[in-house]
Structure 1
């Protein structure tokens, strides 16, 4: 597969659905693709950092690495679900909820708003969470013009929740306290 096609040099690209479509690169469909690609890259970075950190720390971090690999597969599937007949796995949302519940059970109760930060991996997980929120906003807009499967919007919403809890769990596993918002 050739990496450059020379078809995008003038601000357009081809999208492969049941037919080949030519779209401007600022089209809402391509905006969503780009944000999902960014999200997938950030999740990949978090996973790489966790794999490195797991050599020195908690077994929890090793388990989470497998979860994040599946998240990357799911994000990629969402891209296909946007443009073709492929769909996100039916159990993907439930799987995220199961992971959220498992991680939450390990954490002290949240009693205030939490600022992003702590360990660099947790901070990067918060970055992924904000990218997931942007992807959700873009998918909601896209859904007004291009019908998406119901579980796509559910999944991306739950993914940002998962990433929030994961950031807390990473800090907790590395003995770093949440950074609570203080009243001014």
Structure 2
């Protein structure tokens, strides 16, 4: 179990931070950027959950995702593939894929790209989606990263896109891109 006695340690005042194995690295290291982006997508999903209080299924999906993201962060914060460390596995990826297919079946096929927006909930889901895409890019920039971490983030962005469409009245309130509309 995790125990945190102090929040302010002053250990990072010189521009370095500690990884889960005690290694000190620069706060500008790509691994820290990836950890920060994963933390950010988790926070945006926390905001999104303020819109799912009355939708038990969506809220439960998002709660599982938030926990997965902490697991992913635990994976990223310890370099290498030590067997005794928490690592992202195929299980959460397969769960996301199943949820993606279930949501896809509820929305009509797209005839154009969807612009972020619509309902407040959908707008927050789109924001979480783009932050997940950045977290994926940042994770791919980390040397010797667990491939499942980036795959999970890739599926997560697809998941959040479909969730946004559901939150837009199953796609009826989607705002579609009209190419060249303002020429």
What's the TM-score once normalised by structure 1's chain length?
0.87
Task: Give the deviation of 1:176 after TM superposition.
Answer: 5.1
Q: Contact 2:119 / 2:173 at 8 angstroms: preserved in 1?
A: no
CA RMSD of aligned residues (A): 1.4
Equivalent position of 2:177 in the other structure? 181
Equivalent position of 2:16 in the other structure? 12
Secondary structure in structure 2 of the residue aligned to 1:23: strand
Equivalent position of 1:57 in the other structure? none
Partner Cα distance (2:27, 2:149) in 1:
22
The one of 141, 145, 149 equivalent to 1:148 is 145
Equivalent position of 2:127 in the other structure? 127
Task: Give the deviation of 1:24 after TM superposition.
Answer: 1.2
Partner Cα distance (1:167, 1:129) in 2:
9
Offset from partner CA, 1:120-158 (integer Å, 9 cap, x none): 11101101100000011111111xx2x222221211100
The one of 16, 27, 30 equivalent to 1:28 is 30
Q: Structure 1: which 5+ runs fail to align?
A: 55-60
The one of 57, 66, 71 equivalent to 2:65 is 71
The one of 19, 37, 51 equivalent to 1:49 is 51
Equivalent position of 2:42 in the other structure? 40
111-120 or 75-84, which deviates more? 75-84
Offset from partner CA, 1:63-101 (integer Å, 9 cap, x none): 010010010111111111123321124311110011111
Offset from partner CA, 1:103-133 (integer Å, 9 cap, x none): 1111122111010000111101101100000
More helix by share: 1
Task: Give the deviation of 1:183 after TM superposition.
Answer: 2.1
Equivalent position of 2:166 in the other structure? 169
Q: Structure 2: which 5+ runs fail to align?
A: 79-84
Partner Cα distance (2:40, 2:179) in 1:
34
Q: Contact 1:13 / 1:24 at 8 angstroms: preserved in 2?
A: yes
Partner Cα distance (1:171, 1:104) in 2:
13
